[in-house]
A and B are shown apart, each in its own frame.
Chain A
């Protein structure tokens, strides 16, 4: 797996997706290089999850394109997906397997050769502090451990792009600090897209921020720029997303 450095890690152009007549995602553009950590924000129902499903190949966009390390995700999904690690909102865990079995499966699923599986497994367990629980069943672990196992499956194959949907939900304050430190560490050598509702989390780990509202991008900026202009992320978020809420939302 050698990433081609001449291409951005992820480049999405004009993504659009409708469900029936309802346009959920409209003209979303995205471009991340190595070392970028993008905070992906937006109120519930803004289209974040739909966008993430399109970026990971779980949903085909109606129009637009996604390229991962220069490989077209729609035309050549098997190769493009090698570069992606995905942590969905609900951790995809097989509760009847042990942590080791599960992570070995995740590694093989991503095409790691048998010889490198064990090395990758040891490394990732070290990184996510799972060394003590390797032989335990996932089903009996606490929520914090389960979340860390889910993070481990997303990074075990050393993807160039890591997509995380609310990675710190359900963790205690100490674990949240550790996961954030891990994300910062990974962010130095990877491109990361992180969706979150905790604005302080985005401020502490991300260097870029995008805000979605009603299926459109309403903000795409560097966090440093915002800080220079003395703008507070919370105020911006409220301003951009509070007004003109979609009519169908009121109807409910």
Chain B
């Protein structure tokens, strides 16, 4: 109950700032551009594709790459959106109000996480709306579309929980943003570094797991990894905030 109160407050604060509207507009521009570019390519290579025995459909050629780009965009914007969640509360001394209220710390953390996730769900929603326009001229592979949506939401939940945790460590939003960006970039680079080798490190790359969803493969290991990653950082955030009460 109080979790939703906190979530609705976060969303209110998010949508009164111009930041998210600019973000949504820019994102839609970039995604639509990529989308149209892919559509153009598809129309050009369509005659060749028709000669193949098992040609890739429009979902595979157009929609999946858009999701792939969206995951990179998500990496860049999560730090900006997550930085204020705790760091700014602390800097404006409003965290005291939340902690003095009859609200448990898990409810505070989950409320903030929920608000960020509701916002992040707009991203796959925008892409789905773009994709639906393709129905006018062809058939969509809804299975592939669905696995991409699930993958992007899971990836977003990992980014959000990581950003939330880093934001809870400091009272400077800028430091929180840079910290999350740094860690997210490391997780990305880890993917690039380990493409060739077969070391265990590659399993830690979030993008590698997202790629499975991107090609329409709902792998239990990837699903479990992304979920556990998000849960781990939520639990760490709760422990950190509770530790502050105990240790001052």
Contact = CB atoms under 8 A, between A and B. Distances in A.
Interface string B1-43: 1100110010011001100000000000000000000000000
Nearest to B4: A108
Contacts of B5: 105, 108-109
Interface residues of A, number: 32
Contact of A56 (B16, B92, B100, B104): B100
B232 interface: no
A57 interface: yes
Contact of B92 (A17, A79, A94): A94
Contact of A97 (B1, B12, B93, B96): B12
A101 B13 CA distance: 11
A81 B102 contact: yes
B118 interface: no
Contact of A96 (B13, B98, B101, B103): B13
B interface SS class: helix
A56 B92 CA distance: 19
B96 A101 contact: no
Contact of A111 (B94, B100, B102): B102
A40 interface: no
A75 interface: no
Contacts of B95: 92
A153 interface: yes
Contacts, number: 76
Contacts of A130: none
Interface stretch (A83-91, A166-174, A189-197, A208-216): A83-91
Contacts of B97: 86, 88, 92, 106, 109, 153
Interface string B69-107: 000000000000000000000001111111111111000
B94 A81 contact: no
A92 B17 contact: no
Contacts of A77: 102, 104
B92 A93 contact: yes
B53 interface: no
28 contacts: A56-B100, A57-B99, A57-B100, A58-B96, A59-B248, A60-B245, A60-B246, A77-B102, A78-B102, A81-B102, A84-B100, A88-B97, A92-B92, A93-B92, A94-B13, A94-B92, A95-B92, A96-B13, A105-B9, A106-B101, A108-B5, A109-B2, A109-B6, A109-B97, A109-B98, A109-B102, A111-B1, A153-B97
Interface of A: 17, 19, 56-60, 77-82, 84, 86, 88, 90-97, 101, 105-106, 108-111, 153
